[in-house]
Amino acid sequence: MKIGRIIGSVVCEKKIESLSGVTLLLLQPLDDNYKEKGTPVVACDTVQAGTGDLVLYEGGREAALALDNWFNPSDASVVGIIDSLEDV
């Protein structure tokens, strides 16, 4: 799993049927120091995350498995909202 921050939402005029009813969010991946890493990605929301939330997300084939309909083209899915972090 990876950490990212939600930086916005995505509005689509049309979606394929397997993503019907799924909210899409714009997610900025973060590195181990919580700094921006790479370019933002579109992620399926499974936890009702909002702009500014620090989240856990899954990429690749595992992202598709986070949705009810496993047969979808998702490359990223938000699977958890981080309430707080504690360095150990």
How many residues are given for the chain? Answer: 88
Stated as kind and residue range, the H or E segment containing 3 is: strand 2-10
Q: How many structural domains are present in the chain?
A: 1
Q: Would residue 86 count as lying in a domain?
A: no
Q: Would residue 87 count as lying in a domain?
A: no
The per-residue pLDDT string of the chain (88 residues; one tens digit each, 9 = 90 and over) reads 999 999 999 999 898 999 989 999 999 999 999 999 999 999 999 999 999 999 999 999 899 999 988 888 999 999 999 999 887 7
Q: What pLDDT, on the 0 to 100 scale, is given for residue 85?
A: 84
Report the amino acid identity of residue 73: P
Q: What pLDDT, on the 0 to 100 scale, is given for residue 69?
A: 86
Name the pTM for this structure: 0.90
Q: Which domain holds residue 73?
A: 2-81
Output the domain CATH number for residue 50. 2.40.50.220
Q: Please write down the HEC assignment for all residues of 12-77.
A: CCCCCHHHCCCEEEEEEEECCCCCECCCCEEEEECCCCCCCCEEEEEECHHHHHCCCCCCCCCCEE
Q: Would residue 88 count as lying in a domain?
A: no
HSE-up (13 A, CA, CB side) for residue 3: 14
Contact 50, 6 (CB under 8 A): yes
Q: Would residue 73 count as lying in a domain?
A: yes
